Amino acid sequence: MSETDQKNDLVTCDACPVLCRIREGRSGACDRYANMEGRLTRLDPVVFARRAAGEGCEMVPFLGDSDWDGRLLRDGSTFLTGIGAGTTYPDYKPAPFIVSTEIEGVDTITVVTEGIFSYCGIKVKMDTDRYVGPETAAVRVDGEQIGHVTTAEYGSQMLSLGGVRHLTGGSKKEGRITCSSMLSLLNREAVRMTVDGGAELVVEAGRPPVVNGKGEERMRVGCGSATIGIFARQWRSHVDEVIVVDDHITGVLTEHQAGRFLDMPPSGIRVRGRRSTPGRYFQVAEPGLGWGGTNVDDPLAIIERIDPKVAWPGMRLLFVSTTGEHSAWFVLDGDLVPREAEPPEPIRIVTDRIAENCEPALCSVIFMAGAGGSLRAGVTENPVRLTRSVRELRARVTSGGAPVHVWPGGGITYMVDVTEMPENSFGHVPTPALVAPIEFTLSRKDYEALGGHMDHVRALEDVAPGTERRKLLEWSRSRAWPLRSREP
């Protein structure tokens, strides 16, 4: 601290490139560090996870020295996460915590830090067939683009949000709104966003998506063709034709292989769209918020023609969507005109069964970041050895104790489901960038071999009592334990 800072009771924070000068009793721009009696102090507690003693235990946090003296119950039962640990910035410093513990007789090192990530983004999976917007369309919050719509997956719409170009490559406002929106999503808060040429969305991790004000309830059981295959036998004796309306693949029972194997006669009904293979049609309508993710409100609109040489009066026709949310029963009159009627009980049972077989609709929020950069210097003086150690499965990577998926190829690019992490695991710095916990766990022998900072290793028992601010979480056994032994 300079003489000027001393006179003005200022502390310069070096936890990120902003270098806030903080007056006593105030916090910096990120609200993570403060000047407490002339000392730079991390405000958030360091989070320790303790393995739950019994099955089905919930994660219950509690604070304060009087509640926990820091002693371990047994080897490998307590894990120090990166949440609240602090960072290695300006990068040459060893990680804030490098701790050792014994796991099943193996001396193990865990390197614990918070990474400052400009190169990071979010992948959002929304379980819905409803149309959210054209692929690659801009996703906006408060008018600023924070990402785009990406390729839809089976029963889900997908968004790609954040990334370095939105954080740093646009205007200052774009970067600020991108950062704040990402932070809210990662900390499991609801964010309202709009899609150019599409819908208004509300996304919240672990909650159903809301599309144009309507909350989704079910993820489809399958595409129209798959729905035909699953339920064909249950329809056979009660209906003459079934059309499962789907924006992607609409299924027609009597043309489908399932109907043919069941010896169902042709119905003479031809639906609109492009015929792919027997009983499977593409592009029967435009995408939308109606039946099966199409813009159809009246299912009869997708019928192109009814062949009078094949169809017959009294023919029974069922339209149904891939979630069972929409269904309609028709009987052809003497002029072969479909007339809506009440469906018989066996048909209602199968329609209800479609709905029963749909998974609950949820939003999944996956954090994706590149940890192959400077934070590795907090682990070792030779960073490429850490990367190789991760590739060789010698070093396990976790984020807030949660398991991650490490992408193949160069660097350490990982993804983590935020609902597997403790709540409020993420922070930010106003560069702008996201702050996320990350831990590397490996044997002492392997840590020495990669050139780790051995002179900074401390026993976990020595770390816990000396940590002024700490939080202990009971870690449910339903979650993967970060110190689990590897399968042979």
pLDDT at res. 121 = 98
Contact between 282 and 247 (Cβ < 8 Å):
no
User: How far apart (Å, rounded) are the C-alpha atoms in residues 151 and 153?
Assistant: 6
Name the nearest CA neighbour of 439 among 62, 96, 163, 17. 96
Q: What is the CA radius of gyration of the chain?
A: 28
Q: Where in 134-190 does DSSP place strands (E)? A: 138-141, 144-153, 156-162
pLDDT at res. 104 = 78
Which helix (H) or strand (E) segment holds residue 163: the answer is none
pLDDT at res. 4 = 43
Give the amino acid at 57: C
Structure tokens that stand for 279 in this block: 């009983």
CB atoms within 10 A of CB 2: 10
Per DSSP, the residues of 185-231 read HHTT--EEEEETTS-EEEE-TTS--EETTEE--EE-SS-HHHHHHHH
User: How far apart (Å, rounded) are the C-alpha atoms in residues 426 and 211?
Assistant: 26
pLDDT at res. 91 = 73
Q: Please state, in angstroms and as integers, the Cα–Cα distance from residue 439 to each residue in 115, 157, 368, 409, 482, following that order.
A: 10, 31, 15, 20, 9
DSSP 3-state of 304: strand
User: How far apart (Å, rounded) are the C-alpha atoms in residues 139 and 159?
Assistant: 8
Contact between 190 and 203 (Cβ < 8 Å):
yes
How far apart, in Å, do the first and last CA atoms of the chain sit?
52
pLDDT at res. 5 = 56
The pLDDT profile of the chain, 488 residues, written as one tens digit per residue, is 444 455 567 888 887 778 889 988 888 888 878 888 888 887 888 898 988 765 433 333 344 444 544 444 445 788 999 999 888 777 778 999 999 988 878 899 999 999 999 999 999 999 999 999 999 999 999 999 999 999 999 999 999 999 999 999 999 999 999 999 999 999 999 999 999 999 999 999 999 999 999 999 999 999 999 999 999 999 999 999 999 999 999 999 999 999 999 999 999 999 999 999 999 999 999 999 999 999 999 999 999 999 999 999 999 999 999 999 999 999 999 999 999 999 999 999 999 999 999 999 999 999 999 998 888 999 999 999 999 999 999 999 999 999 999 999 989 999 999 999 999 999 999 889 999 999 999 999 999 999 999 999 999 888 755 455 778 888 887 888 888 754 43
